[in-house]
């Protein structure tokens, strides 16, 4: 890479410029800005925050929330406590305990799901890696609390938000997710129905014929 012969001189002041002309030009610029700030919107961009708010774009992300279907946050929670988000979280701010029944069998839902939002850095990786469409980034941003430690440690009840909320927050993304889930649920239902039907026919059929042993799911 060599400097080319194309030498371009800047609009620099001429050799014998009037002294102080640069200063006066600067004063003209500031005066223009002052006067135009009264009538030009792109000059005065201040938003008077608590009274008026800048619109939030659909992509805006703040701290995560957990999505649930239906009305009941406990029953409809999509989270299966798989702990993928817990391991992938860069600042390690998620804490999950799997709920088990009396026999120690996994119930595939979290007993404890805590996010320490004072540690969380809103990167959104948890939402990206979640395979169950469960965790999403919230758009809520007024979260200041008097209590620095407990107030900013969000538990499951604080984190769980309905799918309708997600739909309202990000219609496009939530619509896609809902459509996909519907397809999956339909498929699952169809599979289940087929299984049931199969079982029925199996029961109906005579025993000795060892045919297919259930569907490969």
Provide the minimum distance between the beta carbon of 143 and other proteins in the complex, in angstroms, as a whole number: 15
Which residues inside 17-36 make contact with other proteins, applying CB under 8 A? 17, 19-23, 25-31, 33-34
Question: Does 41 help bind other proteins (rule: CB under 8 A)?
Answer: no
Question: Does 51 help bind other proteins (rule: CB under 8 A)?
Answer: no
Stretch that binds other proteins, among 38-46, 66-74, 104-112, 186-194 (CB under 8 A): 38-46
Show Cβ contacts of residue 71 under 8 Å, excluding neighbours closer than 6 positions. 162
DSSP lists the bridge partners of residue 115 as 94, 154
Binds other proteins (CB under 8 A): choice among 123, 152, 167, 178: 123
Backbone angles phi, psi at 40, to 5 degrees: -110, 125
Which residues inside 79-108 make contact with other proteins, applying CB under 8 A? 84, 88-90
Provide the minimum distance between the beta carbon of 139 and other proteins in the complex, in angstroms, as a whole number: 9
Q: Which DSSP category does 114 fall into?
A: E
Distance in angstroms (rounded) separating the CA atoms of residues 33 and 67 = 48
Provide the minimum distance between the beta carbon of 13 and other proteins in the complex, in angstroms, as a whole number: 5
Provide the minimum distance between the beta carbon of 141 and other proteins in the complex, in angstroms, as a whole number: 11
Show Cβ contacts of residue 85 under 8 Å, excluding neighbours closer than 6 positions. 94, 96, 125, 126, 129, 130, 135
Q: Which DSSP category does 49 fall into?
A: T
Distance in angstroms (rounded) separating the CA atoms of residues 78 and 109 = 8
- Is residue 91 within 8 A of residue 118, CB to CB? The reply is no
Question: Does 175 help bind other proteins (rule: CB under 8 A)?
Answer: no
Provide the minimum distance between the beta carbon of 100 and other proteins in the complex, in angstroms, as a whole number: 25
Binds other proteins (CB under 8 A): choice among 75, 112, 129, 194: 129
- Is residue 73 within 8 A of residue 79, CB to CB? The reply is no
Binds other proteins (CB under 8 A): choice among 72, 99, 128, 184: 128
* Helix (H/G/I), strand (E/B), else coil: 18: coil
Residues found near other proteins in the complex (CB under 8 A): 1-4, 6-17, 19-23, 25-31, 33-34, 37-38, 42-46, 48, 57-61, 84, 88-90, 121-125, 128-129, 137
């Amino acid at each position: 890479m060599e400097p080319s012969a194309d030498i371009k001189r800047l609009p620099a002041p001429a050799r014998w410029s009037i002294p102080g002309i640069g200063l006066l030009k600067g004063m003209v610029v500031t005066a223009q800005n002052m006067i135009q700030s009264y009538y030009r919107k792109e000059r005065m961009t201040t938003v008077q925050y608590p009274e008026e708010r800048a619109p939030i774009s659909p992509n805006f992300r703040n701290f995560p929330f957990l999505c649930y279907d239906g009305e009941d946050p406990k029953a409809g929670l999509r989270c299966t406590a798989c702990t993928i988000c817990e391991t992938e979280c860069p600042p390690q701010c998620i804490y999950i305990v799997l709920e088990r029944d009396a026999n120690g069998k996994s119930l595939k839902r979290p007993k404890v799901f805590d996010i320490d939002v004072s540690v969380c850095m809103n990167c959104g990786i948890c939402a990206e890696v979640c395979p169950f469409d469960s965790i999403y980034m919230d758009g809520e941003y007024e979260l200041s609390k008097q209590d620095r430690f407990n107030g900013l440690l969000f538990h499951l009840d604080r984190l769980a938000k309905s799918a309708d909320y997600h739909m309202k927050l990000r219609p496009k993304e939530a619509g896609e997710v809902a459509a996909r889930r519907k397809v999956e649920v339909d498929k699952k239902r169809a599979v289940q129905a087929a299984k049931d039907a199969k079982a029925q026919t199996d029961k109906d059929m005579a025993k000795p014929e060892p045919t297919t042993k259930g569907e490969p799911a």
